[in-house]
Structure 1
Amino acid sequence: MYRPVLDAVGGSLLLTALTAMLPLLALFVMLGVFRVTAWKAAIVSLVVSIVVAILAYSMPAGQAVMSGVEGAVFGFFPILWIVINAIWIYNMTVVTGHFDVLRRSFAKVSDDQRIQAVIVAFCFGALLEALAGFGTPVAITSVMLIALGFRPLKAAVVALVANTAPVAFGALAVPITTLSSVSNIPQDTLGAIVGRQTPVLALFVPMALVFIIDKGKGVRATLPATVVCGISFALAQFVTSNYLSVQLSDIVASLFSAACVVLLMRVWTPSTAFVDTSEEEEVAVTSAGTALGAGSGATVRTDEPVGDNLGLDDIQARDAAAHDSPAEVARAYAPYLVIIAVFVITQLPGVKDLFDAPTVKFQWPGLDLATPTGDPSTIPTFKFNWLGAAGTLLIISGLISMPIIGISPARAFRAYLDTYKQLVGAIVTVMAVLGLAYVMNASGETASLGAWMAGAGAAFAVISPILGWLGVAVTGSDTSSNSLFGALQVQAAHKTGLSPALMAAANSSGGVLGKMVSPQNLAIAAAAVGMSGREGDVFRKVLKWSLLFLAFMCVLVYLQTTPVLSWMLAGTGG
């Protein structure tokens, strides 16, 4: 049995922690400085972590390699299993034209661009984040905003800033699932705590979007809409994550907030509709295929581009001439409603037991691990819940949706195969990053870093969200950040006397604010609006929002460790 020694290098915790940093430094430098492709950087970093485990920690080579293999398999199932099947459903709606119908239905709610931004970028973007994540919401909502008449730079900035509050529960709560796995803290506990942090952030994001579009006067003019949107989203995200289903948190919150805004528009509208007339450079919409094919590989390319290679005027003229029947609009929304129904039904008593019955738990071959304290490690235990997994439920939802949206089995199967081709870079990246995380956790590299960082004492509560922010800013993924730093947060929390669950949750909540400044998402947004090569312009616009919200989250988490706001965590188990 292998047992990690935290001061394995020369009997010094500092030297050991610095050595344990090498895999993370390799990943960060390759991505952030040398701009190496994400999948290549992840593979190299995985190899570095294995070398460090063998040479610095004296971990048996076979166990070091097998822990990486287990992490890579976990990266595919259940994580990528969710992403692939969610994007498959989206691709089917594009192939059938129902995505265009959905976009046009949003435009009819209001002719005010400030309201459109709230509905499209925040509400619908949150729904896309809930179902797919990994850059998909930024790409799709950027294209939609351009088609609605937004200036390119403003569309990119709005889409990036909007993609914050929903991220922790994105891709059916994959970041939370991953965090639970690497931290050994129940998923429901982590979801409940995150559900008492990001909803506070959600209260202000709609106002921030309007400020970006029309400054302070716009915020005042649209205050009823932004307040209703923020409160309804925050309330739904809190209630769902704490009392219903962690996986459904963003789906319920996005649909509920959108419905509240739509209902508000029937009894109230801004006194003057706003349409941007600033002298910003016009960039034609090329196609959603270009927009969704950009970035780090964790992206989507559609068979039938939303823009169809048309310019902005052509798209708007086509939309103006289109007359979607109520039945077509209903079919456009149907796949998302089917997903909700399937997930709700499978959580019912009896039904849930039926879907969980085939679940198999087994010890990963070749792994015999202990924790630094000598207790048996839970890392080698692999849970294969093939029927009850969220990705499998998405396949069931897709099969039910097929006859509703009118796609033949042959076209649906082609779309499914194309989805794998589109995501090949993302698949390699996520599997390598999870392999890296498992090696670092099994070898003790993460534990050494946590023990060293615990020297910050109570101030670690402020550092915790910053670590999550840094991880997402570099990797572009809250899932990757949680897999890298989740166990480290727990180790540091134990040493400082802070709540391990709170610190682990803070990693995810702080991480969502790094999404808008990550190189991958900047590239996706810039490409979506035809500004490839001008990512620096977008970065300068979003950086201040990222840092402002991060400072807010650091204060919130710190106060949650004190009597001032500790009451917010009552009943979470954290």
Structure 2
Amino acid sequence: MFIIALSPIIWLVVALSILKISSHKACPIALVFASSAALFIYHMPLVNAATAMLEGIALACWPILLVIIAAIFTYNLSIHTKSMDIIKKMLTSVSTDRRIIVLLISWGFGAFLEGMAGFGTAIAIPASMLVGIGINPMLAALVCLIANSVPTAYGSIGIPLVTLGQITDIAPLQLAKYVSLQLAPLNLLCPFLIVIATGQSIRALKGVFFLTFIAGISFLIPEMLVSFFMGPELAVVAASICTMTAIIICAKTLKVTDDTYRMAINKVPVPFKKGLLACLPFILIFIFLLTTSKLIPAINQPLNLIKTSVLIYSGADASPYTFTWLATPGVLILLASFIGGRVQSASFGEMFLVLAKTIISLRNTIITIITIIATAKIMGYSGMTHEIAETAVNTTGIFYPAIAPFIGSVGTFITGSATSSSVLFGKLQTASASAIYANASWIAAANATGSCAGKMISPQNIAIATAAIASNGRESELLKSAAKYYVSFIILMGCIVYFGQIFIH
């Protein structure tokens, strides 16, 4: 029974890693595996299987796909209005030191893109920018993969944790708190690894050690504060803005001068007004999400009343699914993007055309997300997820928390998405936690933490990185380089989760 319950996941591992089948083709087949096992082995009534699938489709469309489409639309619109070119000029005018520029673009700006858009933009754009200013292509791809690891849990306006909360019935605010605690050491460590990788030696930290530490601490503290008091949506966005500001201030005041890392960069000053206008859509997103958050109940509570609850799943343990129509990040992102785009002189016709092209370009992602969430719903309601959890706990016993991050990383390795990993293994993690009387929220958070490590070695993200640096065919070389960091991360994460549960419990 265990192998049958695991069959959709086994298929995804084989299809995506060995057979190299694209996810939008492999995931519908996984749905067939799950449906067949649920109907014929676990004796799930047909109507229950159908309604479980419908609930998965509803969750996929609102709010997950809405956020993804809105976030990518914002980025595409910034390219259409040429705002992204201005933002690039602003970033590259900060310093002529290679280490500082790499840190600013891969760590700071990359995290900002992950927080706003995610789904590969945080790897592709910083990597292409670094290559454009003369950084070795493979090095550019590697540092962007490392930098993109820890922000992943909060990507696309926190959608992995929001989704994990909906899958596990745990408040996203609670998950965000625990994820920020689990990632704290890595948030400090990551900038140091980026600088060391850039200089290909620990000696590269000479002269920029303090700046590198500031880059980590200025990311860590805002992320924890926002996670603890607001939730996951703005945690990485706020952290990335703070760390970019801190890096720029340090670069300007410390005046790092080391000829070994000096770059020939043509600094082009950008007027304040022009820079502000280029960043306007992103600024508006931040303002809208902040003002509608729980920090301002006078706005948050009335907006949250505009909702519709529908009973979709027909099984015994069914609960209504709620569509929140206005107080949802996707709607607010779209509103901010349209206002920002209009101020930047884009017509509504142009913006709707960019939106249409965005949706078309994401068609494979849409298929993947819908089918993977429908698969997870059927596996959860039929008892397949419980079967897997029971076996995992019987095998590992009280040491299960140590492998919880590894399981989360496998989900991201398979799908390329922390959101999909949350869907695949969220229920598995909480069921396993219950079996060993561990804190379910802490173990569920470990799934998202592990997803961050898995993002570094996911074939999908490796392919995005090599495409961005025009080095197709060198995927295995890049994977080999990233794997060393992945192993270190996953061991450290396992220790943090295992020993951390003592204090949380």
TM-score range for the pair, normalised by the shorter chain length: over 0.9
- Count residues with an aligned counterpart: 501
Mapped contact 2:39–2:49 kept (Cα < 8 A): yes
- Contact 1:164–1:512 under 8 Å retained in 2: yes
Counterpart secondary structure, 1:383? strand
Aligned partner of 1:474 among 392, 414, 427: 414
- C-alpha distance in structure 1 between counterparts of 2:501 and 2:306, whole Å: 40
Quick check: 1:150–1:276 contact (8 Å CA) kept in 2?
Answer: no
1:433-452: CA deviations, max 9, x gaps?
11111111111100111122
Query: What residue number does 2:283 align with?
Result: 337
Q: Deviations over 1:409-452 (max 9, x none)?
A: 11111111110111111111111111111111111100111122
Say which structure is richer in helix: 2
Aligned to 2:433: 493
* In structure 1, C-alpha distance between the alignment counterparts of 2:323 and 2:229, rounded to whole Å: 25
State whether residues 182 and 441 of structure 1, in contact with CA within 8 Å, keep that contact through their aligned partners in structure 2.
no
Partner of 2:82: 97
SS of corresponding position for 2:346: coil
- How far off its partner does 1:355 sit? 1.4
Q: What does 1:118-197 correspond to in 2, within 5 Å? A: 118-197=103-182
In the alignment, which of 177, 191, 198 is matched to residue 183 of structure 2? 198
Q: Is the 8 A contact 1:86 1:391 kept in 2?
A: yes
Cα distance change of structure 1 residues 268 and 453 upon mapping to structure 2, 3 Å threshold:
same
Q: What is the aligned partner in structure 1 of residue 258 from structure 2? A: 272
After TM superposition, give the deviation of residue 361 of structure 1 in Å.
1.2
Aligned pair partner of 2:483 in 514, 529, 543: 543
Query: How much has 1:199 moved relative to structure 2?
Result: 2.6
Could you tell me which of 280, 287, 301 is aligned with 1:353?
301
Aligned-partner residue type, residue 435 of structure 1: A
Residues 83, 171 of structure 1: 8 Å contact kept: yes
Secondary structure at the aligned position of 1:175 is classed as: helix
For 2:60 and 2:47, the matched residues in 1 are separated by 20
Structure-1 residue corresponding to 2:211: 225
The TM-score normalised by the length of structure 1 is 0.85
TM (normalized to structure 2)?
0.96
Contact 1:356 1:387 survives alignment (8 Å): yes
What is the CA deviation profile of residues 131-187 of structure 1, one whole-angstrom value per residue up to 9, with x for unaligned ones?
A: 111111101111111112111111111111110111101111111011111111111
Q: Is 1:60 aligned to residue 60 of structure 2?
A: no
Q: What is the root-mean-square deviation of aligned Cα atoms in Å?
A: 1.6
CA displacement, residues 42-75 of structure 1 (integer Å, 9 cap, x when unaligned): 0000111000000110001222122122212211
* Percent pairwise identity: 28
Is residue 454 of structure 2 the alignment partner of residue 514 of structure 1?
yes
**Using the alignment, how far apart are the partners of 2:226 and 2:314 within structure 1?**
38
Q: Which residue is 1:309 aligned to?
A: none
Residue of structure 1 in register with 2:347 after alignment:
408
Work out which of the residue numbers 365, 372, 387 in structure 2 matches 1:448: 387
- Paired with 1:138 and 1:156, the residues of 2 have a C-alpha distance of 7
Does 1:389 find its partner at 2:328?
Answer: yes
- Contact 1:93-1:405 at 8 Å conserved across structures: no
Residues 454, 496 of structure 1: 8 Å contact kept? yes
Q: How far does the alpha carbon of each residue in 1:62-100 deviate from its partner, in whole angstroms, 9 at most, with x for none?
A: 221221222122112101100111111111111111101
- CA distance in structure 2 between the partners assigned to 1:158 and 1:495 by the alignment: 39
Matched residues in 2 for 1:165 and 1:99: separation?
Answer: 24
2:357 aligns with one of 418, 428, 450: 418
For 2:9, the aligned partner's letter is L
Q: How far apart are 1:322 and its partner, in Å? A: 5.5
Alpha-carbon shift at residue 243 of structure 1 (Å):
1.2
Superposition deviation, residue 321 in structure 1 = 8.6
Instruction: State the alpha-carbon separation in 1 of the partners of residues 483 and 391 from structure 2.
Output: 30
How far did residue 221 of structure 1 move? Answer: 2.6
Partner of 2:367: 428
> What residue number does 1:552 align with?
492
Instruction: Give the aligned partner of residue 49 of structure 1.
Output: 34
Match of 1:83 in 2: 68
Helix, strand or coil for the counterpart of 1:195? helix
How far has the Cα of 1:400 moved from its partner?
2.0
